[in-house]
Amino acid sequence: MLPPYVKIVEVGARDGLQNEARALSVASRVEFIRLLGETGVRAIEVGSFTSAKRVPQMVGSGEVLKSIQRNNGVGYPVLVPNLRGLEDACAAGATEIAVFAAASETFSQHNLRCDIAASLERFAVVIERAHAADIRVRGYVSCALGCPYQGAVPSAEVARVAALLYNFGCYEISLGDTIGVGTPRQAQAMLERVAADIPLEKLAVHFHDTYGQALANIYAVLQLGVQVVDSSVAGLGGCPYAPGASGNVATEDVAYLLHGLGLHSGINMPQLLRAGDYICKQLGRRNHSKVAAAWSNRKPLQ
């Protein structure tokens, strides 16, 4: 049964920009976030307090967080890999963070430079400290439908990692198909396994579109009752540590799907198209959203 309302978590300003060749200025990122804030999305991931050497596109995330105009009812989470990142996020005024573990041992070594067990021990402390500072924590589980290094990932392992993050205190767990290899039935089977341990209303999905399956996967899990979907305007993004991973599913395309299904998302499509148009011009790249391409031929953006 389809849910009446679906919350979109816009990840373009973090997960989208982190894999782009061109690093944008703080001012451009702040303007991008301002435009996203006018689209009706209820959460905008605005930056990452990770190593400047490893993810140079996210340099200045503290300045971005301090400079953005915050809209009532909109969350502005930032990604945090460790206690140092949490301290920097707190100093910049963060009220919500996200932590990220992997369901693949090999990917964990490449992305976090430690095994899954060590990463979870680290995040348990980060989450505890964040809660002590009255900061909400969202959890990500990468490689939920496949790993670029080891191939298939057992759903039981996805469920184990997700349950630990949830039990540590993450208010929501986003299940990520990091390399976009999943298909609808696989997505449903994985979700059903994780939902056996975590309430369905506490789960979100994060699909990349490498094989063109992201919208189909979203529709498949919506039928199981998922109510939160991560997406990136213009289909920006990918993962620096996942060879072959293409961009996230485009927010424009997700919103169009939801509207077509009669599901409320709160998204204002013209405003969303403006945000996508702006960021693509800043990056000097084309918009990968099918909806944006169709609308650009139909009517000019104001």
Task: Say how many Å lie between the first and final Cα of the chain, rounded.
Answer: 38
Both tokens assigned to 26 = 């703080």
Q: How far apart are CA 227 and CA 222, in angstroms?
A: 7
Q: Where do the H-state alpha helices sit in the chain?
A: 26-37, 61-67, 83-91, 105-112, 116-132, 155-168, 184-195, 214-222, 251-260, 269-283, 290-298
Catalytic residue (one of 143, 170, 239, 280): 239
Residue with tokens 């009255």: 134
Both tokens assigned to 212 = 């063109």
Q: How far is CA 114 from CA 7, 122, 134, in A?
A: 33, 10, 28
Q: Catalytic residue at 239?
A: yes
Would you name the residues annotated as active-site residues?
A: 239
